[in-house]
Structure 1
Amino acid sequence: MASVSLAHIPKITQISKKIIRILGCNPGPMTLQGTNTYLIGTGKKRILIDSGSPDFPEYITNLKSEITKENLEISDIIITHWHSDHIGGVKDILKHVSKSDCSIWKYPRSDEESSYDFKVKWLENNQQFLVDDNTLKIIHTPGHTTDHIVVHLLEDNAIFSGDCVLGEGTAVFEDLHDYMLSLNLILNLKPSIIYPAHGSVVNDPVKKLEFYIQHRNEREKQILECLNKDKSKIFTEMDIVEQIYTSTPKHLWPAAAVNVSHHLTKLEKENKVKCVQSLGFKSNL
């Protein structure tokens, strides 16, 4: 979720000898400049991380152009999680860009799994892929979604972070407890660089991760302070958003309210707040 001016991201960028970033051309309030997808490798066969949204022909044209120009093949597509702007483009890629023997990989959801029009192979935590002389390690990082993974390029100590860490702004999540564990897991790797699915490359990843963790702790503190101002009052999620997300554009407040809801769920489990007849929340301190 962004509340800052966004940097320009070219539609195709040769980030390094082994990484080509291809922008999904699907900008929006939650996708920022669009979904970043990444071709990994130096040889003829490459691995693609994420696939963009469905029915965005400009992205398919750009991806196909790069594949044709370099005489490449996509051997595998690794999906960071089930959201449409990450897995939605697979069908178009299989139809217009890659060969039929391309494998689609995704970590299974712990909740209800979606059905797809293509065969999905299930990832395992710590599974590794070799592409030329590079090793990609799958790390399960739930929180944003139950099936979310990041991809660790071991030789570069680089992380392809999906939606766990963004290039601008902060991320939304389904489970704050799991999300905080995942942030700390990535922080402990001390990555040298992060390639996010949205926004610019993160060149100071340790600082960014520490900020994310501090930001969530600060939000929790702000929520408790808001509730404790009037312990007799019942607050809805949006009541809290209006008080503590004052610098966030109003069109992003519904997403902010989702984050507040997850904070409240965590605090309720910790017996720091209580839900009152489904009307809202009040302090329990």
Structure 2
Amino acid sequence: MQHLTLTAIPAIEKLSNNVIRVLGCNPGPKTLLGTNTYLIGNGKRRILLDTGVGGIQDYISNLQNVLKDNKIAIQEIVISHWHPDHIGGIVEVAELLKESVRISKYPRQARDDEEIGGGLKYSFLKDKAIISTEGATLRAVFTPGHSDDHLVYVLEEENAVFSGDCILGEGTSVFEDLYDYMRSLNVIKGLNPDIIYPGHGPVIRNPMPKIEEYIKHRLLRESQIYDTLKQSSSPLTAMQIVKKIYVDTPVVLHKAAEGNVLLHIGKLVKDNKIDKSVDSEDVYWQAKS
């Protein structure tokens, strides 16, 4: 995520008849003004999507006030992905409730020991799972890349997508696997949403241009890397690629840029466009002939 002039977001805001956003009150360079958590539905029992980072009393107080003022309860908790700023508040939220609730997410790919703490356990969702409450039908859609367990949720009644960290309200997101991430962006594009409620940042009310912008941004950098390798007379290291294409980036940031290049290289390898070679000191890359 880059440095931005951030749009102000109220701590609590009713966004539609079916959606109330409660800001996680955890601002930072990676979280913008904080994690967006959402109460979804219009009945007495609603779904809570994500729970913030944990340890933030302002968030717990705000959530408690919303529940009290609207005379509503939490039916269940659903999670977009495992990152701490989305699951960290689960135990504290659970302590607010007078009854146990189901806590659901997609399982991480390389782990079978996911634990919450406080004696709580996850119920694991499958791709296309349906979670319903009064006024809201959520469809979970598996969208890995930012993380290996990332889900977006489609709110059928609004043709809306809760995009988690796959698409942000401002700036661009980071990812673990660019190949999967690009596929997930195209999945969201195929959903053709009318509105996006992101995991961070303001509501996106004209989502298709934003989705296209995300895809175009990543494809542009990929094409720069691939073209650099094609035009080179010899294989290049990731840092050599950085020095050729990040010419306007301060040297102090080149190491971070190298990490970004390696993520793009991982996708180009999966796309069968480049080859790897190794000598005793470094790893080199070249375009396939």
- When the two structures are superposed, what TM-score results if normalisation uses the length of structure 2? 0.89
Q: Which amino acid aligns with 1:164?
A: C
**Counterpart in 1 of 2:13?**
13
User: Contact (CA 8 Å) 1:27, 1:34: kept in 2 or not?
Assistant: yes
Q: Which string of whole-angstrom CA distances, capped at 9 and with x for unpartnered residues, describes residues 114-160 of structure 1?
A: 32211111111111122113211111111111110000001110000
1:32 to 1:119, Cα distance in 2 relative to 1, 3 A: same
Look up the equivalent residue of 2:9 and give its one-letter code.
Answer: I
Query: Offset of 1:226 from its aligned partner?
Result: 4.2
- Structure with higher Rg: it is 2
Residues 73-116 of structure 1 deviation map (CA, whole Å, 9 limit, x = unaligned): 11111000111011111011112x22332210011111124322
Please tell me the residue identity of whatever aligns with 1:9.
Answer: I
SS in 2 for 1:156: coil
Specify the alignment match of 2:269 in structure 1: 268
Which residue identity does 1:145 align to in structure 2?
A: S
- Could you tell me which residue of structure 2 aligns to residue 164 of structure 1? 166
Of the structure 1 ranges 29-38 and 110-119, higher mean CA displacement relative to structure 2 is found in: 110-119
Q: Which residue does 1:101 correspond to in 2?
A: 100
The 5-angstrom pairing of residues 114-193 of structure 1 reads 114-117=114-117, 118-193=120-195
Counterparts of residues 154-233 of structure 1 (less than 5 Å): 154-227=156-229, 230-232=232-234
What is the alpha-carbon distance in structure 2 between the residues aligned to residue 82 and residue 245 of structure 1? 35
Identical positions, percent? 43
Number of residues of Structure 1 aligned to a counterpart in Structure 2: 283
Deviation at 1:273, TM superposition (A): 4.5
Deviation at 1:251, TM superposition (A): 7.3
Partner of 2:84: 84
Distance 1:240 1:100, change over 3 A: farther
Distance 1:66 1:257, change over 3 A: farther
Which secondary structure state, in structure 2, belongs to the residue aligned with residue 126 of structure 1? coil
- Kindly indicate whether residue 43 of structure 2 is the aligned counterpart of residue 43 of structure 1: yes
Secondary structure of 1:13's partner? strand
Residues 218 and 74 of structure 1, relative CA distance in 2, 3 Å threshold: same
Aligned-residue Cα RMSD (Å) equals 2.5
Task: Measure, in 2, the Cα distance between the counterparts of 1:230 and 1:46.
Answer: 57
Q: Equivalences for 1:251-266 in 2 at 5 Å? A: 254=256, 257-266=258-267
SS, match of residue 7 in structure 2: coil
The AA in structure 1 aligned to 2:132 is L
Whole-angstrom CA distance in 2 between matches of 1:166 and 1:252: 25
Residue 157 of structure 2 aligns to a residue whose secondary structure is helix
Cα distance in 1 for residues equivalent to 2:30 and 2:92: 22
| Alignment-derived partner of residue 279 in structure 1 | 282
Any gaps of 5 or more consecutive residues in structure 1? none
**Equivalent-residue separation in structure 1 for 2:248 and 2:97 (angstroms):** 46
Structure 1-normalised TM-score?
A: 0.90
Task: Please give the alpha-carbon distance, in whole angstroms, between the structure 2 residues aligned to 1:257 and 1:98.
Answer: 46
* CA deviation after TM superposition for structure 1 residue 3, in Å: 3.5
CA distance in 1, matches of 2:91, 2:238: 40
Task: Check whether the contact 1:234–1:279 (CA below 8 A) recurs between aligned residues.
Answer: no
Separation (CA, whole Å) in 2 of partners of 1:245 and 1:205: 32
